[in-house]
Amino acid sequence: MTASTIPWRGLATLALAATLAGGCDRPGSPAASAPTSSAPQASAPTSAAASPQPSPEPSADDRCLDTYPGAIADAAFLPGTFGEEKGDLCYQVRPARPGEEVWPEEDHLPRVCATGTLPSEALVADRRGGRRLWNSSSTPGEFSTDVYDHTVTRYSGSGAANYLADLRAAVARCGAYTRDGARYDYFVVSAPKLGDESLRLALTRRYVQPQEGMPREARYLIAVIRRGDHVAVVFDHGWEGTPTRTPAITAVFTQSARLLPTP
């Protein structure tokens, strides 16, 4: 995965990467504007008939089919998750029309089975998520760029508890599958309990053919944490196919559990 393939909604990845290179995981302040000239500017002559304007290019929001209220507060996420432009993740993307750029397929939530939808999806009341580009190194002066997705979902009824149960059942039922030139295999791994209930998943992805500049096989950790009717999912993507170091991403899991709303 390269920075150019990350599907943001209004979030400038390259700007964030440049910010990290300067030692911060949040976008910097905007550049100073050019000085305003005091000389008066001649106005263009007004045309009697307005000329036709070209149709605007479709924006990222035009492609997103999500209808969630999006009322989950920034406080439920680590600082730097949304950046200056508040770019939320999109969970349902409209297929590209002729001439539109095709968005790369990217999983923000565990896709344990090749097809189908978990029953608990019917009980989603709200969902919001962001992709965080961060420095995962704990050594002063050292920078290690990594990426993860952080989603918080509020469920109605028993949906939150059902979601974790659905994931466990799907792991046991579905097994590995191949998609977009890679084999995906999810399994449950042992981990300390977080929140009221938690589930730690690992995803092994192996490309059918070697990919330039990326490991052919890698394992990514995913934390699913419930508190009351809210569930946080932190999905590690590492950087250019290489997963984030385990101590660094597990520290993020612990922090995200503390940020979940209290019932």
Distance CA 191, CA 257 (A): 13
Instruction: Give the tens place of pLDDT for each residue, 1-16.
Output: 444 444 444 444 434 4
Give Dmax over CA atoms of the chain in angstroms.
Answer: 73
> Domain segments of the chain: what residues?
3-19+59-259
Confidence check: pLDDT of 26 > 60:
no
Give the pLDDT score at 55: 42
Residue 26 or 241, more confident: 241
Class of domain 3-19+59-259: alpha beta
Q: Which amino acid is at 143?
A: F
Q: What are 261's strand-pairing partners?
A: none
Q: How confident is the model at residue 121 (pLDDT cuts 50, 70, 90)?
A: very high
**Count of CA atoms in the C-beta half-sphere (13 A) of 103:** 23
Give the pLDDT score at 100: 84
Instruction: Give the tens place of pLDDT for each residue, 149-162.
Output: 999 999 999 999 99
Residue 262 or 122, more confident: 122
What Cα–Cα distance (Å) separates residue 219 from each residue in 183, 184, 216, 222, 236? 12, 10, 11, 10, 9
Instruction: Give the tens place of pLDDT for each residue, 197-235.
Output: 999 999 999 999 999 989 999 999 999 999 999 999 999
Give the pLDDT score at 87: 73
Instruction: Give the tens place of pLDDT for each residue, 122-133.
Output: 999 999 999 999
Which residue in this structure is represented by tokens 């009980």?
A: 123
198: left (phi over 0), alpha (psi -120 to 50) or beta: beta
pLDDT over 90 percentage in the chain: 65
Give the total residue count for the chain: 263
Give the pLDDT score at 101: 81
